[in-house]
Amino acid sequence: MQLTPIRLLIVDGSPSFRGALRESLKGDGGIRVVGMAGSAGEALRRIRELNPDILTADPDMPDLAEALAAVSEPAVLPVIAVGRQAPVSGLPGLCDFVGKPNTHNFDDISAFRNELCVKIKIGCRPRTPGPAGAPEAVRPQPGERYHLIVMGASTGGTEATAEILRRLPGDLPGIVIVQHMPAGFTQMYAERLDRMCRLRVFEARDGSRVKAGTALVAPGGKQTSLGRDRNGYFVRCRWGTKINGHCPSVGFLFESAARAAGPDSVGVILTGMGKDGAEGLLAMRRAGAFTVGQDERSSVVYGMPMAASEVGAVEEQAPPEKIAEIIVRRVRG
């Protein structure tokens, strides 16, 4: 929980946009703009002077990637790209993207501000990297009741998923995660999770094996499903159309888990807008899986968990830090 305002540095080459962005964020008490920069060199100086928690930055700014790479610990300084289009190549610390609004359309500006505020809050992490900065892991017990864990999330899910994984021991059964993200961002997200967790975290590839102690993040732009053979579980990652409005789709993963794993699996549905995953989680529960959903109070958007709960797919509800305890208790109980 963020107890003090997030310290934000705005980096953009347009003085008018920097000023407008600063003014638009004044109404959010959870964010404080501590400075602005109009060039990559100035951004580097301001980062070192102000020690911000997070940056918004125009990804097309010349020399920005080099400047961010020069920061002593770029991996723990998250960056929200704010531009006309998503960056083709990654920036150090890049965790999300928001498109610049049409300044002549009030609704567009309002939607931009709301999206940016949410992504700043879910992208901001404590500045201690790696497992040394993670809370004490839930103590595992001997034995295993389940051998597969699948998780799905959307808006607010980057933070919720990270909170769960940071609390898990490094020897749990394999985990597969769908987070609604576009292509190009899921690999960076997986790398970020890997730095802060005891588990090893990778972006999934077609044919990746689901192994104990490892979490796989479904690649953006591909539909990810589970298969099973005599050697255990594996994932299929294929180009495909959107399902429930998303690619990857939480529901598509969950439905495949119901078929491939059934009672050998745990399903977790987290914060997000819409209904993706609700019917898939219900299929898992009907197949004998244990299912859990994020509670309303801790959700950024209580859409997906609510939809799952309403159709009877959820056995327990809890905030992310408690979900970690539930997973370990159920897997090792």
> Annotated active-site positions, please?
154, 180, 276
User: Residues for the chain: how many in total?
Assistant: 333
163 burial (CB, 10 Å; 0-12 / 13-18 / 19+) is buried
Alpha-carbon span 86 to 58, nearest angstrom: 10
89 burial (CB, 10 Å; 0-12 / 13-18 / 19+) is exposed
116 burial (CB, 10 Å; 0-12 / 13-18 / 19+) is buried
Within 8 A by CB and 6+ apart from 19, the residues are none
Alpha-carbon span 260 to 270, nearest angstrom: 22
Alpha-carbon span 113 to 91, nearest angstrom: 22
Does residue 205 contact residue 212 with C-beta atoms inside 8 Å?
no
Alpha-carbon span 249 to 118, nearest angstrom: 21
Residue 255 tokens read as 């439905």
Residue 141 tokens read as 């017990």
Alpha-carbon span 280 to 50, nearest angstrom: 46
Alpha-carbon span 249 to 259, nearest angstrom: 16
Alpha-carbon span 201 to 153, nearest angstrom: 16
Q: 50-75 burial string, b = 16+ CB within 10 Å, else e?
A: eebbbbbbbbebeebbebbeebeebe
